[in-house]
Amino acid sequence: MKNVLLILMSFVFLASCKQTGQKADDHLLADPNLLHRNMKQLTEVIIHDVFGPPVASRIYSYTSLAAYEAIRFEQAGYPSLAAQLNGFAPMPSPEKGKQYNYLLAATKSFFTVAEKITFSKDTLLNYQNKVYADFKSLLDIDTYERSLDLGEAIGNKVLERAAKDNYKETRGMAKFLGNNQAGKWRPTPPDYLDGTEPYWSLIKPLALDSAAQFKCPPPPLYKVDTISDFYKMVKEVYTIGNNLTEEQRTIAHYWDDNPFVMEHSGHLMYANKKITPPGHWIGITAIACKKKQLNAIETAQAYVVTSIAMFDTFIACWEEKYRSQVVRPITVINELIDRNWQPMLQTPAFPEYTSGHSGISAAAATVLTKRFGDNFAFEDTSDLEYIGSKRNFQSFDQAAQEASISRVYGGIHYRTSVDAGARQGKTIAAFINNKLQLRE
């Protein structure tokens, strides 16, 4: 009798555990945190595959758009954003009267795109298989398969546009090695790499009419006499770099976001992989969404609008960079002022004017401010696992301003360039805010 009682108690306990587990699993069917986990998985792949900042912004944009175009059907009143952007065919729609799980569809759509425009497909597949297995255990088979089919169809439609944005064509174009004209960019130490993405201005924007729609003013004229505006801005970078405070060093390091820093130690050379500038702002977007407890549709929308603003800003910024081809501070300072001077940060391998980090930070901050408000305080932990530090900000604009000036502290940009980049990013983001209708 005692043994029978123990067996009965065991069955009751197991049933109780199963019910508790089932409730937790059911939460997955509408959990916006799945979108954050999906995005985190993508960021890890972007870091692993060492995609540069412009390419990373392209990856975030297409994947985020695919997820939104699927999840938006969960609630009436959310229009297609693809229909408001350049070059997209109409997106597939769910069949009337049929059951779908749109979070599952959004996940499938997201990874359908991600698999095609990144390299580490196996890593993404391992993650997806676990997610899909969880959904399959909770949904009837028809709803499950129908949701996957819808997501895949939307993802493939997004990929049709991605295939026509000139990205593939620019992969085979000639390298950019700069030139020796006075004031023009040429490869910088320690690695003297050729210019990164010299044809990025040929990529078709998502919202802008063209790469040159919002041009920056011309950079200061190259003059080496000590009373010229150009020399003064070079001297400012040199002076600041030689007198950095601990706070300035912290800020420069925090916003470095260089995805592939080459470290040199004697004859040894190795690379440190880190988050990209757009990845940093995608992380901030996640923090804001979680703090505000946005639902899945609002979360997906926040991701895609932020990504589009950064993507189009990179295109506009790169149009200016390779048109003006302004020389980096380290080159001028080593030639004219101090041959042994080194900036705190490693100089990125592309022309100086304007600052891409300043531009995309201002753009992201502008669209996030529209979504969350002017005085949205947050703790930025986006970089915590990569560099072991975090910072607190009272607004997105404060974070963007700090990201911008960090480039001067790091010795890789002139103040003129970071200011111009920030203005351009704000202008482009304001245009996108006005262009996109987010609710019907």
> Could you tell me the CATH number of the domain that includes residue 59?
1.20.144
> Based on the domain organization, do 204 and 331 belong to the same domain?
yes
> Based on the domain organization, do 149 and 287 belong to the same domain?
no
Q: Which of 122, 137, 167 is the last residue of a domain?
A: 167
> Based on the domain organization, do 147 and 215 belong to the same domain?
no
- CB-based contacts of 396, cutoff 8 Å, min separation 6: 284, 288, 364, 365, 366, 368, 369, 372, 376
> Can you give the pTM of this predicted structure?
0.93
> Based on the domain organization, do 301 and 427 belong to the same domain?
yes
> Based on the domain organization, do 354 and 385 belong to the same domain?
yes
pLDDT the model gives residue 12: 40
Mean pLDDT to the nearest integer, 50-61? 97
Task: Return the number of other C-beta atoms located less than 10 Å from residue 77's C-beta.
Answer: 9
Mean pLDDT to the nearest integer, 360-374? 98
pLDDT band at 272 (very low <50, low <70, confident <90, very high): low
Q: Which of 130, 152, 167 is the last residue of a domain?
A: 167
Q: Percent of the chain at pLDDT above 90?
A: 88
What is the extent of the structural domain holding 151? 27-167
> Based on the domain organization, do 245 and 126 belong to the same domain?
no
Tokens coding 207: 């919202």
**Residues of the chain by 3-state class (helix, strand, coil), percent to 5:** 60, 5, 35
Q: Lowest-pLDDT range, 16-20, 240-244, 422-426?
A: 16-20
Residue 250 lies in a domain: yes
> Based on the domain organization, do 116 and 191 belong to the same domain?
no
pLDDT the model gives residue 194: 97
- CB-based contacts of 130, cutoff 8 Å, min separation 6: none
Residue 6 lies in a domain: no
Mean pLDDT to the nearest integer, 274-294? 97
> Based on the domain organization, do 199 and 280 belong to the same domain?
yes
> Based on the domain organization, do 222 and 352 belong to the same domain?
yes
Tokens coding 4: 């029978």
Mean pLDDT to the nearest integer, 358-379? 98
Query: Judging by DSSP bridges, how do beta strands 378-380 and 391-393 pair with one another?
Result: antiparallel
pLDDT at 233 over 50: yes
Q: Are 60 and 285 in contact (CB under 8 A)?
A: no
Q: Percent of the chain at pLDDT above 70?
A: 92
Selection from 422, 414, 405, 424 nearest residue 219 by Cα = 414
Q: Which of 133, 167, 201 is the last residue of a domain?
A: 167
pLDDT at 388 over 80: yes
> Based on the domain organization, do 54 and 87 belong to the same domain?
yes
Structurally, the chain folds into a number of domains equal to 2
> Based on the domain organization, do 77 and 221 belong to the same domain?
no
pLDDT band at 330 (very low <50, low <70, confident <90, very high): very high
